[in-house]
Amino acid sequence: MVRVLRSPLDAVVCTLFPSSCILCGSHLPQLSSAPICEICWTEFTVPDGPVCARCGDALKEPAGSLFSELCRRCRVVPPDFARAVAYGPYQGRMREAIHALKYDRVRGAARKLGSLMALAIAQMAGEAPAEMLVIPVPLHRAKYAQRGFNQARSLAAEALKSLRKTHPAWRLQLASKTLMRLRATDSQAGLTPRQRRLNVRGAFTVTDPAAVAMRHVLLVDDILTTGATARAAARALMQAGAASVRVATLARASRIGWSKNDREEISAIEGAGFEEDAPRRDSRRIYAGSSRAETTF
């Protein structure tokens, strides 16, 4: 497997003069804004099996069981969002494509990934309100300065372009300055589980509450991992008076079957412990748990 390009210069050159796919290395037949080949685009896995009706996480209970609608975590500590959808799991080619977008600044990938985001959002067509304010999860300003763009905003903008064609009646309005991230939540090493929980909980504020009051909100992000970010952002929006919050992400990392490396990467992305929002009495057990974690949510 060819490693994803690391230098920004390489990324720029690759975007301007693409010759090979950044994911598999195969030759690209023509100049393309996204240096990813057609085969790689088809290699994103789509989810199968039952998922939680609220947060979209994979359900481990057999279908038809008493609680098969919701995961344990949503039953115990319901989130402030009504529903979360994703295009597919955060693994394989999808993980590489998101890395290329975020860390290698291969911004051409945003258009195609945005069209996949549109497919995720379209899962809510018919069920979600006809008018929604679309709010990308913001980066902390230090991270924004470092990265130079917010991948969530790029994905949201591209997804809306696509949805305007496929669902012209759906009134989705991008509002990328409405929510602000007060703290960088990716440097929580050394904090106790309780400190982490509190840290992510107040991480967002609504800059213009009048803009969200009584509005239905669609929160957009690239990845949903522990759900801590989505939960904290949804809480801030509901407290500011939003009528409802829904969440759409490109990919989601299921809590089932995380390896140690996965947990470290996810911790770096989201900065939250795996225990956030869980009842306190359970927190130590959940925090220490690995593959058993899903049984304690």
Q: Which is nearer to Zn ion, 53 or 174 (CB)?
A: 53
User: Exactly one of 14, 55, 119, 223 binds Zn ion (CB under 5 A); which one?
Assistant: 55
**What is the separation of C-alpha 43 from the centre of its chain, rounded to a whole number of angstroms?**
19
Smallest gap, in angstroms, from Cβ of residue 181 to Zn ion?
Answer: 24
d(CA 202, CA 217): 19
Please list the residues that pair with 131 across neighbouring strands. Answer: 171
- Applying CB under 5 A, does 52 fall inside the site for Zn ion? yes
Q: How many CA atoms lie within 13 A of 275 on its CB side?
A: 20
Q: Which is nearer to Zn ion, 38 or 131 (CB)?
A: 38
Q: Which is nearer to Zn ion, 222 or 294 (CB)?
A: 294
Smallest gap, in angstroms, from Cβ of residue 184 to Zn ion?
Answer: 27
Q: Are residues 195 and 272 in contact, defined by beta-carbon separation less than 8 angstroms?
A: no
* Interface stretch with Zn ion, choices 48-56, 114-122, 200-208, 275-283 (CB under 5 A): 48-56
Q: Which is nearer to Zn ion, 52 or 152 (CB)?
A: 52
Written as six digits, the tokens of 108 are 């051409």
Contacts of 235 by beta carbon, 8 Å cutoff, 6+ apart: 80, 201, 204
Smallest gap, in angstroms, from Cβ of residue 73 to Zn ion?
Answer: 6
Written as six digits, the tokens of 195 are 């400190």
Contacts of 38 by beta carbon, 8 Å cutoff, 6+ apart: none
Smallest gap, in angstroms, from Cβ of residue 23 to Zn ion?
Answer: 5
Q: How many CA atoms lie within 13 A of 70 on its CB side?
A: 12
* Interface stretch with Zn ion, choices 51-59, 128-136, 207-215, 233-241 (CB under 5 A): 51-59
User: Exactly one of 74, 155, 218, 240 binds Zn ion (CB under 5 A); which one?
Assistant: 74
Q: Which is nearer to Zn ion, 21 or 224 (CB)?
A: 21
Smallest gap, in angstroms, from Cβ of residue 143 to Zn ion?
Answer: 28
Q: Which is nearer to Zn ion, 59 or 163 (CB)?
A: 59
Please list the residues that pair with 85 across neighbouring strands. Answer: 248
d(CA 175, CA 211): 9
Q: Which is nearer to Zn ion, 24 or 243 (CB)?
A: 24
Smallest gap, in angstroms, from Cβ of residue 107 to Zn ion?
Answer: 18
SS3 of the chain: helix, strand, coil, percent, to 5? 40, 15, 45
Task: Identify which of 130, 83, 52, 35 has the alpha carbon closest to the alpha carbon of residue 248.
Answer: 83
Smallest gap, in angstroms, from Cβ of residue 136 to Zn ion?
Answer: 22
- Residues within window 208-237 making contact with Zn ion, judged by CB under 5 A: none
Q: Are residues 275 and 188 in contact, defined by beta-carbon separation less than 8 angstroms?
A: no
CA distances (Å), origin 40, targets 13, 34, 72, 115, 196: 20, 11, 35, 15, 37
Residue span 6-45 as binding mask against Zn ion, x where in contact by CB under 5 A, dash where not: ---------------x-xx------------x--x-----
**Count of residues in contact with Zn ion, rule CB under 5 A:** 11
Give the pairing of strands 179-181 and 204-206: antiparallel
Smallest gap, in angstroms, from Cβ of residue 275 to Zn ion?
Answer: 16
Residues making contact with Zn ion (CB under 5 A): 21, 23-24, 37, 40, 52, 54-55, 57, 71, 74
